[in-house]
Amino acid sequence: MSPRFSIIIPTHNVEKYIARCVESCVNQTFMDIEIIIVDDCGADNSISIAQNYAKSDPRVKIIRNPKNLGRFHARISGINNAKGQYLLFLDADDFMALNTCELLESKIQNEILSSQTPPDIVHFKSDFVDNKNSSALAYILHKIRYLLPTRFSKSKLENTQIAHNFFLSSYHFPKFTLWDKAYRKELVRKAVGLLECVENPLNMGEDMLTFFVIALLAKKYVSVESRLYKYCLNATSITKDNSKENILKRQNDMTYVCEILAKLGQNERLKEHRECEKIIARITNNLKSLIILEERFGAENGKSLYLKKCAKSLKYWNRNLTYLRILAYIVSFRKIKI
């Protein structure tokens, strides 16, 4: 009999955090789960640590990619191997509350009893945890980002309301992350089928891309008010490492996602959603803004580009966090760059 939940964990060079992550899964109060750890061919001891859990708990399964494919394709490897009825995505440097699956199961059962139809998406809240390797101001800004209210905080949505509320009605930060939701497996596999055009490894922008397709296909969304996902600010992750190499990689990833979105805009199945074109335009502008922001730590003719790039990014995305960056930079006499 298939488990209720499959928890998919892409794993690449996270030996400091993988034990905490897996512990939060194997100790779930609801036990009808499987934990799929996707080995994305890192160079540290992450998988050795994970294998110790697999030896003692048959619910822990490890699958290995043939080479480093990036987070997008690592998740797809997990999806293709998942046996659970619902899928959860967990980044290996994050963790989840021990009652996560129990609360999600209760919500799913209540929906089936009340409406005879299971939800496609069960959304839950996230909390912010510092891994103690980030600056105090970075911690404060991220805390603000994850606690700001949003207009789409509704307990139930159906059909076209789902994508509209996530991508077009958000007031502060569009919540298009994959990891704060549980998804019916059949829905995710349909979405993955439409994303076969993605060939390049992706570590940035992949959440926007995947959730865009899922949201357009979904028929029923419900939410749980509890803060179950523990998002950890990790200064050593690829999304926080501001070396020239990683900045260029992130920019290339986001540019590639824009190209894929343009292709998806021609898909007849997705075009059935009346706001498909408008949503693609919104996501593309968000990505253009982030691509510009990636250049804020550079210099031109010996002068910092920080203020110029922050201001320019607002043309595409009028983002509160960017205003906070500008304010911190000015009041600190150009010393604080985040």
Q: What is the pLDDT of residues 266-300, one digit of tens each?
A: 999 999 999 999 999 999 999 999 999 999 988 88
List the structure tokens of 25: 């899964």
What letter would DSSP give residue 148?
S
Domain assignment of residue 239, yes or no: no
Q: What is the mean pLDDT of residues 118-145?
A: 72
Any domain includes 99:
yes
Same domain, 196 and 225: yes
Q: How many domains does the chain have?
A: 2
At residue 152, the pLDDT reads 45
Classify residue 17: in a domain, yes or no: yes
What is the DSSP pairing of strand 156-158 with strand 121-130? unpaired
Establish if 337 belongs to a structural domain. no
Has residue 203 been placed in a domain? yes
Same domain for 141 and 261, yes or no, is no
Calculate the average pLDDT of the chain: 90
- The reply to whether 58 and 201 lie within a common domain is yes
Please check whether residues 228 and 124 belong to one and the same domain: yes
Whether residue 88 is found in the same domain as residue 209: yes
pLDDT at residue 31 in the model: 98
pLDDT score of 149 more than 60: no
Q: Based on the domain organization, do 130 and 28 belong to the same domain?
A: yes
Whether the pTM exceeds 0.85: the reply is yes
Q: Is residue 83 part of a domain?
A: yes
* CATH code: domain of residue 139: 3.90.550.10
Contact by Cβ (8 Å): 165, 273: no
Which of 233, 252, 286 is the last residue before a domain boundary? 233
142 lies in the same domain as 290: no
Q: Is a pLDDT exceeding 70 seen at residue 333?
A: yes
Q: Which residues make Cβ contacts (< 8 Å) with residue 139, sequence separation at least 6?
A: 130, 233
Q: What is the pLDDT of residue 151?
A: 47
For 304, phi then psi, to 5°, come to -65, 140
202 and 157 share one domain: yes
Residues 76, 149 share a domain: yes
Q: Whole-angstrom Cα distance, residue 228 to residue 111? A: 19
Domain carrying residue 287: 244-331
202 and 250 share one domain? no
Residue range 293-318: mean pLDDT, rounded: 91
Cα–Cα nearest to 12, from 34, 35, 43, 33: 43
Residues 224 and 255 in one domain: no
Last residue within a domain, chosen from 190, 206, 233: 233
Domain assignment of residue 84, yes or no = yes
Pick from 233, 258, 285: which residue ends a domain?
A: 233
Q: Are residues 151 and 22 in the same domain?
A: yes
DSSP 298: -
